[in-house]
Structure 1
Amino acid sequence: MEVDVLVGDYLAGMGVKALAERYGVHRATVFSHLRRRNVPSRCRGLGIDEKAEAVRLGRAGVSMRAIGRRMGVDRKVVRAALVEAGVIVDDGSNASDR
């Protein structure tokens, strides 16, 4: 595998999961290569409109995991948006995770 090409693909916008599939390696390997090359990570969050949509879906009973899949983010990002909006209470545990 050519790490320079992988880094270029990441900088061009490819996601870590897609890179892992393309190069036949684990996501952790992709992260390791990026870290070794001092490539800044792209922590994908939700914009204002996306947060509003996540809140709407959460109030409609859609699970955090399903919302995350739909919006292309981790369930924890969705959970943070729902806590911020007061849809769920952050009690420090994961008991409220769906």
Structure 2
Amino acid sequence: MAQTILTPFEVDQLVGDYEAGSGVRELASKYGIHRATVFAHLQRREVPRRRPGLNDQEQAEAVRLSRQGMSMRSIGRRMDVDRKAVRGALVDAGVIADVELEAV
């Protein structure tokens, strides 16, 4: 695989896209680079990383899909996020309890 080197202008665009809400996977695809390279560019520019998760609109959609019986894994695949992000959104919305299981 050929290595893609971004110009400083392209890195500026990548940072702007990230700050505007684009996801790391989306940016990796758009700029033809690996996700780790996206993170490296952001780190070098001292851009604070967003907490992974869903915004309010996405959270509402996850709640709707959950109430229709869709699994967290399926919701995550559909919304291109980790199952844990879906679970966190459902806990935040009060749809499921945040219960830690105790070892018996």
The two structures have a TM-score, normalised by structure 1, of 0.66
Provide the C-alpha distance between the structure 2 equivalents of 1:34 and 1:21, rounded to a whole number of angstroms: 16
Select the structure of larger CA radius of gyration: 2
Matched with 2:29 is 21
Matched with 2:68 is 60
Provide the C-alpha distance between the structure 2 equivalents of 1:65 and 1:3, rounded to a whole number of angstroms: 37
Give structure 1 stretches of 5+ with no counterpart: 94-98
| 1:10–1:16 Cα contact (<8 Å) kept | no
The one-letter amino acid paired with 2:55 is L
Give structure 2 stretches of 5+ with no counterpart: none
How far off is 1:69 after superposition?
3.4
What percentage of aligned pairs have identical amino acids? 54
The two structures have a TM-score, normalised by structure 2, of 0.64
Matched with 2:79 is 71
Query: Residues 42-53 of structure 1 correspond to what in structure 2 (within 5 A)?
Result: 42-43=50-51, 45-47=54-56, 49-53=57-61
How far off is 1:28 after superposition?
1.3
The correspondence for 1:83, drawn from 61, 83, 91, is 91
How far off is 1:38 after superposition?
0.7
How far off is 1:70 after superposition?
3.1
RMSD (CA atoms): 2.6
Instruction: List structure 1 runs of 4+ shifted beyond 6 angstroms.
Output: none
1:29-80 Cα distance to aligned partner (Å, 9 max, x none)? 2101210111233445321x43233222112221212223333443222101
Give the match's secondary structure for 1:25: coil
Matched with 1:32 is 40
